[in-house]
Amino acid sequence: MSTPRRSVPSAPEPARPEPLARGAARRLRLDGHVQGVGFRPFVYRLARSLELSGSVRNLQGEVEIIVTGSPAALDRFTREVIRSAPPLARPHLLDVQAVSAPVAAGFAILESGTGGPARVFVPPDAFTCPECLAELTDPADRRHRYPFINCTQCGPRYTLIESLPYDRVNTSMSAFPLCPSCEAQYRDPLNRRFHAEPVACPECGPSLWLEGEGLRGEAALERTVGLLLAGAVVAVKGVGGYHLLCDATQESAVARLRERKRRPHKPLAVLFPMAGPDGLERVRREVRLSKTEAAALVSPARPIVLARRRAGGTLTSLIAPGLKELGVLLPYSPLHHLLAQEAGRPLVATSGNVSGEPVITDEESARAHLGDVADALLHHDRPIVRPADDSVVRCVLGRPRTVRLGRGLAPIELTLPWRLERPVIATGGHLKVTVALAWENRVVISPHVGDMGSARSARVFEQVVGDLQRLYGVRVEEVVCDAHPDYATSRWARECALPLTRIPHHEAHASAVAAQSGTGGPMLVFAWDGAGLGEDGTLWGGEAFLGAPGHWRRVASLRPFRLPGGERAAREPWRCAAGACWQIGAAVPDPQPDPLVRQAWIARLNAPRTSAAGRLFDAAAALITGVRETSYEGQAAMQLEALARTARGAGCEKDGTHAPPRLYAEPDGVLRFDWQALIERLLGSQGTRAQRAFAFHRAMAEAVAATARALRPHGFTEVGLTGGVFQNVLLTELAHEALLAEGLPVRLCEQIPCNDGGLSYGQVVEYAARTQGERTC
């Protein structure tokens, strides 16, 4: 049976202005990201340059502009107010009307209007703009080498706003009164620091100090650089939290950082000083950048971008053991610019946190949790209101895809194709948690909170839930959570004493990619990840769903097997390999598991049934590479992908073993991919390890295509790929090629992560589709 078509409406065209006589006035209303981004000063300068009279004012989240002048100048103004808007602004023209009211000569920025419902947009933190960067390096400028330089086009936003409206008194800068020079710039509409709420200078703003050394300001900065060059690990307070920095070219420094942080294998991000015409000269010495990756690196979000490592670089191999990619980023704050430029070399810049928890933001916590990791702590006295870790992006199929929402990208707002009857909060899952606040047809997704399970994660989670409601002026009336009853976020949701809706894990994944595709129509969505509670009480993670948000039907899955040791299998891939081998009656390669493990598996003691593709990837990694234990989530599969890509890069992938997909139908009609022949071939000795790794990826991709081919009679129009497994670039590329060969377009997540960081958004979409049948335009 085909699924009802569910289209996503496109944004309405802005109203066309009526023809105006010379000297008539025009009223424009705009919304979008027009608050806290220098939009009103931009309008002021634009109107003045075109010799227009009138005014601009904030109006409860919108901007109202009244302009008068010649028809040609008014037409140009209407175009340029959108086309030439500041980089951080994203204005949307709501309405243009001819008005006959007289307008006084000159152009003015008026006091903000009140009345009516507020339409608030909270901007994310912004990178240091070129103008501020030029001042930072200009010895003649009074903010020369000032680590907290900013203007309306750059600097912290989300991490310093305490409440709205966005005025200095409502930020963590309220404790720093402006000096006369800064006050004059703050009040001047022609100055780019007009109402730049974090504006400051060395005379009146925040300052650095190096703990234990009695050094402040420039002396603290210089001493920090000296420590880094000498091989020390330094905890540095940034915009959204602390980083742990060390020299990325010194193996001993990186080894000490790994040992002290108890992070033996997880890849570390590397911060590069800007150099060359586009700022990427130093980065290109270490990695191969595509045009898309280069554009992502220099984008306003300044995320960590994953890129292919070059052979013969200067970075120690301890940066990303077993991987072929590096996470690279450019400086995004004035402090990071100064540190990177003075050091003159790449620096490790990893999150200053307890593994999996939110990044640390205050001095006391830094001393308690980073004091044993870092040799020194560089603090500043601008309070961080809430944490924001670095964003992470990986380019897949020629487009940047968000892996982690953080500084520069979040909070992110998207429009729902349905209007909600009541405000809701969605709590995500258990790992990579984000929070989504939704009301009317708006949904705002928070930056990455972290993994739940610790007291600090719970505190930050609750803070973000409360802060989002307070900042946007919304009071939640219902909670949406994952269907797994034992997730910390699910327990929190039950304790809220509000109406509760539980969304199955993989249906949330499916709805997230369907909503981001924006094309409507029935979809076939493959939701592959490490595990999520299925509707039958088993662990799903290799599923395919047919339909649309609110109307999903599970139509395919992987052949299930049981995991010896349950949750321990996620960090001990040999257990996944053993479970898969025992499931098909094959012998487990040496070293043999403890006989008690086998006996427990036979007795079905702590051996849950799973269809998760992530666990099958772990099994393949253990069989091919021999990896038995991992220290971070996804390690085995990531190293397997890196190995497989070496075979493809060498052009010898066709020499490996290859098992064509075999499908069979369950009595309930669910189609299963039987991976038995694939595992049996991996147990053989044909081909190199890299060739076998590539063969596994190819077989899994062909299973996707074969499943889609078998289900074509159901009438879907496109295929979605989502879940953490599809962060694997090689798998996604191979699946994309195979599906295109079947004539099926492929949709992927882009702005929102396909991993569990996108669950909260998917939960909102699924909830909205289930509860609302009415479309909005």
Instruction: Give per-residue pLDDT as tens, 389-407.
Output: 999 999 999 999 999 999 9
Q: Which residues, 6 or more positions from 750, have their beta carbon under 8 angstroms from its beta carbon?
A: 399, 400, 401, 402, 516
Rounded CA separation 438/432 (Å): 19
Judge contact between 316 and 249, C-beta under 8 A.
yes
The whole-angstrom distance between residue 609's C-alpha and the CA centroid of its chain comes to 31
Burial class (CB in 10 A: 0-12, 13-18, 19+), 768: buried
Residue 14: pLDDT band (50, 70, 90) is very low
The alpha-carbon radius of gyration of the chain (Å, integer) is 27
What is the phi/psi pair of residue 456, to 5°?
-70, -40
What does residue 65 show for φ and ψ, rounded to 5 degrees? -125, 130
The conformation of residue 318, written as its DSSP 8-state character, comes to: G
pLDDT for 16:
45
Specify the range with the lowest mean pLDDT, choosing from 101-115, 189-203, 448-462, 678-692: 101-115
> At residue 103, does pLDDT exceed 80?
no
3-state secondary structure at position 393: strand
SS3 state of residue 770: helix
Question: What is the mean predicted confidence (pLDDT) over 121-140?
Answer: 95
497: left (phi > 0), else alpha (psi -120 to 50), else beta? left
Residue 11 burial (10 A CB sphere; 0-12, 13-18, 19+)? exposed
Phi, psi of 154 (to 5 degrees): -160, 170
Per-residue pLDDT, 280: 98
Query: Is residue 53 predicted with pLDDT exceeding 70?
Result: yes
| Alpha-carbon gap, residue 448 to 404, rounded angstroms | 7
**Band of the pLDDT at 659, cuts 50, 70, 90?**
low
For residue 570, what is the enclosing H or E element?
Answer: none
**631 vs 151: CA distance, rounded Å:** 42
pLDDT in tens, 661-692: 899 999 999 999 999 999 999 998 788 999 99
Phi, psi of 663 (to 5 degrees): -115, 145
Report the amino acid identity of residue 18.
E
Decide if pLDDT at 5 tops 70.
no
Q: For residue 706, what pLDDT is reported? A: 97
Alpha-carbon separation of residue 37 from 91, 105, 154, 234, 427 (angstroms): 10, 26, 8, 33, 29
Q: What is the DSSP string of 596-651?
A: HHHHHHHTTSS--EE--HHHHHHHHHHHHH-----SSTTHHHHHHHHHHHHHHHTT
pLDDT, residue 8, reads 32
User: 658-683 in b/e burial notation, b at 16+ Cβ within 10 A?
Assistant: bbebebeeeeeebbbbebbbbbebbb
Angle in degrees, CA 439, 445, 447, rounded to 5? 150
The predicted-structure confidence for 176-213, as pLDDT tens digits, reads as follows 999 999 999 999 988 999 989 999 999 999 999 999 88
Residue 118: name the closest of 31, 15, 27 by CA.
31
**CB-CB contact of 9 with 60 (8 Å):** no
Q: What is the per-residue pLDDT for 458?
A: 96
For the chain, percent of residues with pLDDT exceeding 70: 94
- Strands (E) in 473-568, as ranges, are 478-482, 500-503, 523-533, 539-547, 553-558, 561-562
What is the structure's pLDDT at 24? Answer: 80
**CB-CB contact of 330 with 279 (8 Å):** yes
pLDDT in tens, 307-323: 999 999 999 999 999 99
pLDDT score, position 603:
97
Residues 6+ apart with CB under 8 A from 408: 124, 125, 126, 127, 300, 301, 302, 303, 332, 391
Q: State how far the Cα of 700 lies from the Cα of 725, in Å rounded to an integer.
A: 11
Rounded mean pLDDT of the chain? Answer: 92
Give me the mean pLDDT over the 630-643 stretch: 96
- With H, G, I as helix, E, B as strand and everything else as coil, classify residue 712: helix
Confidence class for position 15, pLDDT limits 50, 70, 90: very low
Mean pLDDT of 608-629: 97
Question: Residue 13 — φ and ψ, nearest 5°?
Answer: -70, 140
Amino acid letter for position 223: R
Of 233, 245, 235, 244, nearest in space to 340 by CA: 245
Q: Which pLDDT score is estimated for 114?
A: 62
The per-residue pLDDT for 453 is 87
Pull the structure tokens for residue 596.
Answer: 């008690």
Is 70:22 a contact under the CB 8 Å cutoff?
Answer: yes
- Residues in CB range of 678: below 8 A, 6 or more apart: 659, 696, 699
Report yes or no: 301 and 203 within 8 Å, Cβ to Cβ.
Answer: no
Residue 656 has pLDDT above 60, yes or no: no
pLDDT interval class at 356 (50, 70, 90) = confident
- Is 9's pLDDT higher than 70? no
Q: Report d(CA 408, CA 335) in Å as an integer.
A: 16
How far is residue 663's CA from residue 675's CA, in Å, rounded to a whole number?
9
Which of 264, 247, 265 lies closest to 314, judged by CA?
A: 247
At residue 38, the pLDDT reads 85
Residue 511: pLDDT over 90: yes
* Residue 154: DSSP 8-state: B
- Mean pLDDT calculated for residue range 595-603: 96
Cα–Cα distances in angstroms (integers) from residue 97 to residues 65, 72, 77, 159, 606, in the given order: 11, 16, 14, 37, 68
Structure confidence at residue 777 (pLDDT): 32
653: which DSSP letter?
A: G
| Token couple for 190 | 């022609």
pLDDT of 776 > 90? The answer is no
Phi, psi of 70 (to 5 degrees): -70, 155
**pLDDT on residue 148:** 98
Burial 511-544 (b: 16+ CB within 10 A, else e): bbbbbbbeebbbbbbbbbbbbbbbeeebbbbbbb
User: In this model, does residue 654 exceed pLDDT 80?
Assistant: no
Which runs of E-coded beta strand occur in 355-441?
376-380, 392-396, 399-404, 412-415, 424-426, 436-439
Identify whether 411 is preceded by a cis peptide bond (ω within 30 of 0): yes
The two three-digit tokens of residue 245, written as one number: 């920095």
Q: Which of 241, 297, 269, 293 lies closest to 125, judged by CA?
A: 241
Q: Is the pLDDT of residue 23 over 70?
A: no
Identify whether the C-beta of residue 94 lies closer than 8 Å to the C-beta of residue 31: yes
Token pair belonging to 544: 């395919």
Share of the chain above pLDDT 90, in %: 84
